[in-house]
Structure 1
Amino acid sequence: MTDVVVIGAGMSGLICAQQLSRAGYSVVVVDKSRGLGGRLATRRLYETRADHGACYLNPKGELFTSLVDLLCDRHILEVWTDTVYQFTTHTGLSAPQNLRPRYVAPAGMSAIAKFLAQDLNILLNQRVTAINLTDENHWRITLESSREELTAKALVMAIPAPQALMLLAPLGESVLGQNFLENLSSVEFYPCISVMSGYPAGLQTLPDWKAVSLIDNAVLGWIGVDSSKRHQSSQPVFVVQSSASFAQLHLESLDLQPTGQQMLQYAATILKLPWLDTPEWMQVHRWRYAFPSIPWPEKILKAETALPLVCCGDWCGGNLAEGAMLSGFGASQEINQNLENLILPDVNFFKDFP
């Protein structure tokens, strides 16, 4: 028996788990992936790494800015660029008038999650296959790979709403209530396909820009020189992300390599980088739930159940990583109020991290 099980080791799940753990609750975090971070994803490949999820942080609120400042002090984050170029079919490539610093992690964006995961009890590579109630009226969480079960007094679903719905729907309206299930099913996401590609070390024709956002483009949404984030990179590495409409067309493809090649060919043509479509290597990743298209308007979505159950994530309240952090705090407060009402740490608790 544990006090709280948190499903999902992204920003919101880790923030929630830290708050509850530091207040004194026993907390277990479970995630189906091999690594931490969710969309704060970094892939190691060919003696280098690439951020194929969130590409940078663009803090706006005071609390998130405080976290970014701290991560800079700990040498986890640094300013990458203040200029993300824009590309439209009519105007071509142009620099924006409003410059804002974008922050990246030279060790990879997943380094943020590793920082937030300190001292937590986390089970990785553990897919949850079922959620039920025990005879003693606790949550029972069944894990696929270990064939084990966790029991908890409270449950936090820090995963995309459609994934949470698949696990929770079998409980039915009698347990969760009609409104909760309808609200959860109302959340929708845009997909995205990310291409990571590496080029010869002696390439002399790298562009002047570090990142380009493509506005209303049918194929691409973003492209960045990912290797420019690294202090030492063995070769030029680019990350190209598709538009939502293009991803939707190819999302179910069994082999995404041709899709990735098509994206590189298109980028090479419109950005006038003819070598871009002939990389030394290429990997493609599909994000089925990349960006919330219809988010939940509040910080959390809670079920009116006898047992505490809260959903949180970047789809609650919007604003991606920053929204995910605020949602994690909201989830911890809601769970705490429904358990022992302990004293939660200050929202700047991460300043106490080593």
Structure 2
Amino acid sequence: MTDVAVIGAGIAGLVCAQQLTQAGYSVRIVEKSRGLGGRVATRRLYGTCADHGACYLKPKGELFGRLLELLHQRHVLEVWTDTVYDFKSGSGLTIANTSPPTPRYVAPGGMSAIAKFLAQDLEILLNQRVIAITPTPENSWRLTLESSNEELTATSVVVAIPAPQALMLLEPLGETLLGTAFLNNLRSVEFYPCLSVMAGYPSTSQPLPHWKALNFVDDADLAWIGLDSSKRPSPEQPVFVVQSSAAFAQRHDQTQDLHPVGQYIVQRASEWLLPWLDTPEWIQVHRWRYAFPSRSLQEACLPANSSLPLICCGDWCGGNLVEGAMLSGLAAAEEINNYLRHLPLPKESFLNFLS
């Protein structure tokens, strides 16, 4: 029995769990993947790594800016660049319109290092998918786990995963238990998909570009490209990450073999930018079905209308990507605390362990 079960070890879930743990609650996180961070993700491959989710972080909002500064002081984050370029087919490269220049922070050890840092001292079950949530006669929630046939019992639940996945998990509980408005709000959230292509090149390739990050403004297939290896202290080879447009990812939603799709994406990038991008040494493709919220909720979190506390949170509450996920996790912790013991919960307490 635990006070709070958090489903999902992305930024929202980790921040919520850290806040509640420091207040004195017992908290367990259940994560279906083998790693932490959700879309703040890093792939280890071919002796290197590549950030195939969030590419960098910008200071946006006072609290999020403080978090980035603290992570910078602890050498989890470093400034990567303050210049991002736009590419248009008719006019070529121009500096993206940001005034004043804004630093982009990255983790030299991979962006998932942010999640690992936020996860300090938390109890986390990895590789465990929650397949059912049911109320118990003892006024608690029972979570059934897929791989181990085990169950976890908690006084309250925080569901910190994309809304469509939360809906699949919670819809069987029905409107009588959770409330019609709650389920309708979950149903209203929509996401853009994305395909993320990681490509490595021989160290003897042509000279590297002067840009580190570039937006494709008007391309039907491509959205972004970054020289990912420039984030690393001593890269052994050039590594690029190319992200597809949402429309392109939607067209390939049911494509099983994504390798040819990835080859096509780097070929398109080579046509616009660098001819040698068409001949990678290796390539991997990751499908993000829930990459960016296209229709968010305005609320910072979504409480169910149930007698037992159950809260949904994530970057789809309020938007603003990683910053929104952090603020949503804080809001969910506050809601849970209001249901439970009303312990002192300073808004910035989850940052204290960083200092």
Distance 1:305 1:77, change over 3 A: same
Superimposed CA distance per residue, residues 28-51 of structure 1 (whole angstroms, 9 cap, x where no aligned partner): 001101000001100100110000
Distance 1:171 1:97, change over 3 A: closer
By how many angstroms is 1:96 displaced?
A: 2.5
Alpha-carbon separation, structure 1, partners of 2:348 and 2:58: 19
Aligned amino acid, residue 193 of structure 1: L
Alpha-carbon separation, structure 1, partners of 2:214 and 2:192: 20
Q: Is the 8 A contact 1:194 1:285 kept in 2?
A: yes
Q: Is the 8 A contact 1:196 1:237 kept in 2?
A: yes
Corresponding position of 2:297: 296
Q: Is the 8 A contact 1:42 1:52 kept in 2?
A: yes
Superimposed CA distance per residue, residues 191-224 of structure 1 (whole angstroms, 9 cap, x where no aligned partner): 0000000000122321110010111421011000
Superimposed CA distance per residue, residues 105-152 of structure 1 (whole angstroms, 9 cap, x where no aligned partner): 000000000010000000011111111111222111111111100011
Corresponding position of 1:147: 149
2:203 aligns to what SS in structure 1? coil
Corresponding position of 2:35: 35
By how many angstroms is 1:270 displaced?
A: 1.2
By how many angstroms is 1:89 displaced?
A: 2.4
Corresponding position of 1:135: 137
Superimposed CA distance per residue, residues 301-348 of structure 1 (whole angstroms, 9 cap, x where no aligned partner): 111110111111111101000010000000000000000111124415
Aligned amino acid, residue 337 of structure 2: N
Corresponding position of 1:24: 24
Corresponding position of 1:284: 285
Q: Is the 8 A contact 2:156 2:310 kept in 1?
A: yes
Q: Is the 8 A contact 2:206 2:276 kept in 1?
A: no
Which runs of structure 2 are paired with 1:143-222 in the superposition (5 Å)?
143-222=145-224
Alpha-carbon separation, structure 1, partners of 2:327 and 2:265: 34
Alpha-carbon separation, structure 1, partners of 2:218 and 2:246: 10
1:132 aligns to what SS in structure 2? strand
Aligned amino acid, residue 113 of structure 1: A
Q: Which runs of 5+ in 1 are unaligned?
A: none
Corresponding position of 1:227: 229
By how many angstroms is 1:97 displaced?
A: 4.2
Alpha-carbon separation, structure 2, partners of 1:48 and 1:96: 29
Alpha-carbon separation, structure 2, partners of 1:351 and 1:141: 31
By how many angstroms is 1:234 displaced?
A: 1.1
Q: Is the 8 A contact 2:70 2:354 kept in 1?
A: no
Aligned amino acid, residue 82 of structure 1: D
Alpha-carbon separation, structure 1, partners of 2:137 and 2:97: 61
Which runs of structure 2 are paired with 1:224-263 in the superposition (5 Å)?
224-263=226-265
Alpha-carbon separation, structure 1, partners of 2:134 and 2:191: 26
Alpha-carbon separation, structure 2, partners of 1:59 and 1:196: 26
Aligned amino acid, residue 201 of structure 2: Y
1:316 aligns to what SS in structure 2? coil
Aligned amino acid, residue 279 of structure 1: P
**Which stretch of structure 1 is more off in the superposition, 199-208 or 221-230?**
199-208
Alpha-carbon separation, structure 1, partners of 2:3 and 2:352: 25
**Which stretch of structure 1 is more off in the superposition, 143-152 or 97-106?**
97-106
2:144 aligns to what SS in structure 1? strand
Q: Is the 8 A contact 1:116 1:350 kept in 2?
A: no
**Which stretch of structure 1 is more off in the superposition, 6-15 or 204-213?**
204-213
1:240 aligns to what SS in structure 2? strand
By how many angstroms is 1:350 displaced?
A: 2.1
Q: Is the 8 A contact 2:205 2:276 kept in 1?
A: no
**Which stretch of structure 1 is more off in the superposition, 92-101 or 34-43?**
92-101
Q: Is the 8 A contact 2:28 2:123 kept in 1?
A: yes
Alpha-carbon separation, structure 2, partners of 1:215 and 1:348: 40
Corresponding position of 2:344: 343
Alpha-carbon separation, structure 2, partners of 1:348 and 1:232: 36
Distance 1:346 1:299, change over 3 A: closer
Which runs of structure 2 are paired with 1:71-90 in the superposition (5 Å)?
71-90=71-90
**Which stretch of structure 1 is more off in the superposition, 95-104 or 216-225?**
95-104
Runs of 4+ in structure 1 off by over 4 angstroms are: none
Give the number of equivalent residue pairs: 353
Q: Is the 8 A contact 1:22 1:345 kept in 2?
A: no
Aligned amino acid, residue 8 of structure 2: G
Corresponding position of 2:92: 92
Q: Is the 8 A contact 2:221 2:244 kept in 1?
A: yes
| Alignment match of 1:267 (pick from 260, 269, 286) | 269
Superimposed CA distance per residue, residues 3-26 of structure 1 (whole angstroms, 9 cap, x where no aligned partner): 100001011100000011111111
Alpha-carbon separation, structure 1, partners of 2:200 and 2:219: 24
Superimposed CA distance per residue, residues 69-98 of structure 1 (whole angstroms, 9 cap, x where no aligned partner): 000100010100011100122322111242
